[in-house]
Amino acid sequence: MWMGVFAFSLMAMGYGGLQAWYVWYQSNHPINLSRYEDRGALVLSHDGSFQHMFAAKDGLFRLKADVTKVDKRYLDTLIAFEDKRFYGHSGVDYLALMRATGQAIYNGRVISGGSTITMQVARLLEPRPRTWRSKLIEMARADQLEERYSKEQILGLYLTLAPFGGAYEGVRAASWHYFGREPLDLTWGEAALLTVLPQSPTVLRPDRHPEKAARARDKVLARVQSTLGISPADLAANKGFRLRLKGKKDGMVSASTALHLAFRLRQNKDAFDTVKTTLNANYQQGATDIIRRAVDLLPKGMTAAAVIVDSWTGDTITYIGSPNYFDIERAGAVDMVTAKRSPGSTLKPFIYGLGFDDGFLHPLSLISDEKTRFGDYAPRNFRGRFHGEVSVQYALQHSLNIPAVKVLSRVGAPRFAAELAGVGVTLDIPGNKDIGLALALGGAGISLEDLVRLYAALASDGKVRPASFKGHSEDIKGKTIASATTRAYLHQILKGVSPPADLMPSGMRRHGRKIAFKTGTSWGFRDALSIGFDNRWVIGVWVGKPNGTPNPGHFGARTAAPILFDLFAMMPKSEDRQIAQVIQPSDRVKTHWRVQDLSPLQKHFDRPPLKYLAANVALPPVIQFPVPDSALKLPKGPRKLLIETKGGEGALSLLVNGEPVSEIGPLGRVWWQPSGIGFHRLTVVDERGQSAQTTIRILP
């Protein structure tokens, strides 16, 4: 009896000492969650299909998980097999620990483990050698974890950190790697496999050792069958050597077709390390295949990029920065969707659009395509020919250069650049030079992404919105780049551009789809572009070399347009729908034009209206820059703003807030130094008293 009391006293003293040591250790060693907090990111398509997974900083694929992110079959199997008293103990299961210790002493080797799931979490957070001292620390940590976190939170730590073979940790990363999906709808066999893998992740790795993995899985199923009530039919269906793993061609070892976008969005992950994009997996893969086939036929070093946007939603559904991210010869890692390159002639529709909105231009306006100099600038047409007097419609459809430069001269290059900046599209001006008329022919850099945004505005309601990769929020209204009338004009004109018959896919002719599109070629054949839209889809294609060297013989109509039409042939034809009448008011604008409908100001671009000729006076002055209601920051240095004007008779005067400031030079330009920040009213007056006025805001 006394021996029993003595033994009990020793056990009580030992337990008390252990608890005292727990308290001391926990107070001096706070829990370190750095491994848990170091996680990667999962990028998915709109339908939830896999795009790419990024590793954590330590190089392991690890995603946050908790009980809401896994199938109940897996949770039940895990608890039943690993720690059946998980919800009853306080971190350490002393009964299991004593059983495991006794078995080890009796057999001379470890027969079963005594670690609870909480103790395993402690080891996963702070990996240590397998020693008795480490086991004591894990017990202290388990007690500490149980005091601080709920059972569900502790399970979440385990589900995030448990090893599953190779570079994959956590049940979500493992499920994507082995099964190609989230662990939300697992079979009993899959649940059992994921349960047993952390016990020996290298030996049981199913993609390396399928037979061993299958035997271990069946062992788990046999042990938990009665506990979990698995039917004999389910047991039979989930046993055997077949593991039903995801094929390599579909699994995570395959290269993503949207790696460039994945890299852009990886930091925008949600609370569960997931980025769900607007990409359509089928169209993304189909477009990538089309681009790859086209690039295979191009000379060494050339590549291509493409973007497809749904104009009904504004979402980007296909994003190809290059067809192969890992192609070193073609600089595949460079994202040519965001690269600033010359747009060639693809901005011409928006130049004419300003003329339409200003009211001095119409598709039937006549304009002279003839040799013309603008100071020291003498543009030429692509093929070196002049066409005489043509309509604006003809000039745009045939991408004549001189008419476009003339219209830009009337609109004002700084104003045009400011209009683009006002809708969120910033041009890259080479060498910080003044914005000149070469802008009409691609004399400034712009990204393919921004070009597609501009054309998407033409295709829908005229508002330019930020690129949407995760879905637009309803409060993003966008800023208008073109009125309904102007969009109707440009729709009709660009739909009249006929692709060469031998380049037009037969599927396009069969469906009778009408594409509004524009091509562009930069100086020296460095960039070939084609941008187009139909009733729903907006597609942009760029072809060239990422290093910007010339590609003789490759231009927009020959090289980029065929790819554009192949991409349109892949997309389903979209019939008109009711909402299109709301987002496309241009459909309700008159599109059958007559010369009789033109105002005197619109009939001849190069000749002033008769009323001005009769009075022998010039057109009224126009303030080309700054544009009305703009908010501007002054440039560094002189802190002055360049005012640009056009027209007027005789000398022009600048008034600011009603007070005369200075005369305007013969080129229609004057530098003005604002008296301070805030709103200012600018007025330009010519010698006949004709005036123009605008209000701007100077920012600090």
**Token pair of 179, please?**
């099964």
Could you tell me if 348 and 366 are in contact, meaning their C-beta atoms sit under 8 angstroms apart? no
Catalytic residue among 175, 345, 391, 522: 345
pLDDT digits (tens, 9 = 90+) for 434-467: 778 899 999 999 999 999 999 999 999 999 999 9
Distance of CA 279 to the CA centre of its chain: 9
pLDDT in tens, 304-351: 999 999 999 999 999 999 999 999 999 999 999 999 999 999 999 999
The CA distance from 503 to 517, in Å, is 14
Tell which CATH classification among 2.60.40.10, 3.40.50.11540, 1.10.1280.10, 3.20.20.210 matches the domain 608-699: 2.60.40.10
CA 622 and chain centroid, separation: 40
**What six digits make up the tokens of 44?**
């998915």
Class of 24-237 in CATH: mainly alpha
- Show Cβ contacts of residue 253 under 8 Å, excluding neighbours closer than 6 positions: none
Q: How distant, in Å, are the alpha carbons of 167, 330, 513, 538 from that of 310?
A: 37, 29, 16, 6
CATH class held by domain 316-578: alpha beta
pLDDT of 9 strictly over 50: no
- Whether residue 108 is predicted with pLDDT greater than 60 in this model: the reply is no
pTM of this structure = 0.82
Domain assignments of the chain as residue spans, ordered by start: 24-237, 316-578, 608-699
CA dihedral of 345, 349, 350, 355, whole degrees rounded to 10:
120
Give the pLDDT score at 208. 92
Type of residue numbered 492: Q
Q: Which of 99-108, 337-346, 421-430, 490-499 has the lowest mean pLDDT?
A: 99-108
Distance of CA 383 to the CA centre of its chain: 37
| pLDDT of 405 over the 90 cut | yes
648 pLDDT tier (thresholds 50, 70, 90): confident
The single-letter code of the amino acid at 289 is D
Annotation says 449 is catalytic: no
The identity of residue 553, as a single letter, is G
CA 671, CA 50: separation in Å to the nearest integer? 56
Residue 692 token pair? 């123009």
Decide: 258 and 52 in contact? Cβ < 8 Å. yes
Query: 266 burial class (0-12, 13-18, 19+ CB within 10 angstroms)?
Result: middle
Catalytic residue (choose from 45, 82, 419, 653):
82
Residue 687 designated active-site: no
Q: How far apart (Å, rounded) are the C-alpha atoms in residues 171 and 164?
A: 8
Give me Rg for the CA atoms of the chain: 35
